[in-house]
């Protein structure tokens, strides 16, 4: 198990679509372990493989509160098969867009099919923060960031800030 570096905006890989896993083996399980380690260490409540530079369809989430036992969920090849008409709004952030938060509206409940780390086919009904978090991470697998769900004006401002920061870092 080891910590991986997290890719930060405006890295272009974040805009790319991830490919499905064809088989789930020990290497895939080791990757899931690294993703959990990296997410907990950040700390964050969700992480997609693209955020550690791998264009593969895996996400990890844990929305348990700090004083509650951990509830790690790893989804491989996740697919939203149903979304509620009812919407909910959460203030979202992203480990690839540090210290940036904004309100995003998404379906309040979803049903997701995926494979777990043993390769078993699973289906899960998600609501509340878990529904938002899973949708945010599945978006990552399709090259979509939470800032793509906010106004263009705000999005452009955030991107500009990160482009500038990346340039300054390159000079130093
Ligand atoms: Ni994110």
Torsion of CA 58, 147, 81, 17, to 10 degrees: -50
Neighbours of 171 (CB within 10 A): 5
8 CA → ligand 1 middle, Å: 10
Catalytic residue flag (residue 118) = no
Note the pLDDT of residue 170.
84
30 CA → ligand 1 middle, Å: 21
C-alpha 35 chain-centroid distance: 11
Mean pLDDT of the chain: 97
Per-residue pLDDT reduced to its tens digit, 101-136: 999 999 999 999 999 999 999 999 999 999 999 999
What are the sequence ranges of the domains in the chain? 12-171
For residues 1-15, average pLDDT: 95
92 CA → ligand 1 middle, Å: 8
For residues 6-14, average pLDDT: 97
108 CA → ligand 1 middle, Å: 18
Q: How far apart are CA 42 and CA 133, in angstroms?
A: 16
Predicted confidence band of residue 23 (pLDDT cuts 50, 70, 90): very high
> Is the pLDDT score of 20 beyond 90?
yes
28 CA → ligand 1 middle, Å: 21
Catalytic member of 71, 91, 118, 137: 137
Judged by DSSP in three states, 137 sits in: helix
123 token code pair:
């289906």
Judged by DSSP in three states, 24 sits in: coil
Which residue matches tokens 């969920």?
Answer: 73
Neighbours of 34 (CB within 10 A): 19
Per-residue pLDDT reduced to its tens digit, 42-70: 999 999 999 999 999 999 999 999 899 99
For residues 12-24, average pLDDT: 98
Give the helix/strand (H/E) hosting 76.
strand 73-83
Q: How far apart are CA 36 and CA 62, in angstroms?
A: 9
At the top level of CATH, the class of 12-171 is: alpha beta
Judged by DSSP in three states, 113 sits in: strand
> Is the pLDDT score of 22 beyond 80?
yes
């Amino acid at each position: 198990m080891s910590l991986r570096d997290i890719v930060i905006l405006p890295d272009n890989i974040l805009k790319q679509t991830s490919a499905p896993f064809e088989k789930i083996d020990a290497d895939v399980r080791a990757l899931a372990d690294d993703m959990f380690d990296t997410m907990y260490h950040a700390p964050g409540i969700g992480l997609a493989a693209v955020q550690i530079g791998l264009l593969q369809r895996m996400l990890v989430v844990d929305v348990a509160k700090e004083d509650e036992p951990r509830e790690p969920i790893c989804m491989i090849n996740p697919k939203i098969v149903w979304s509620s008409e009812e919407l909910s709004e959460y203030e979202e952030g992203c480990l690839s867009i540090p210290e940036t938060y904004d309100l995003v509206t998404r379906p309040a409940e979803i049903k997701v099919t995926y494979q777990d780390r043993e390769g078993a086919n699973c289906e899960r009904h998600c609501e509340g923060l878990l529904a938002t978090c899973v949708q945010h991470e599945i978006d990552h697998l399709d090259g979509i960031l939470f800032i793509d769900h906010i106004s263009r004006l705000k999005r452009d401002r955030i991107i500009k800030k990160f482009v500038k920061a990346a340039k300054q870092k390159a000079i130093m």
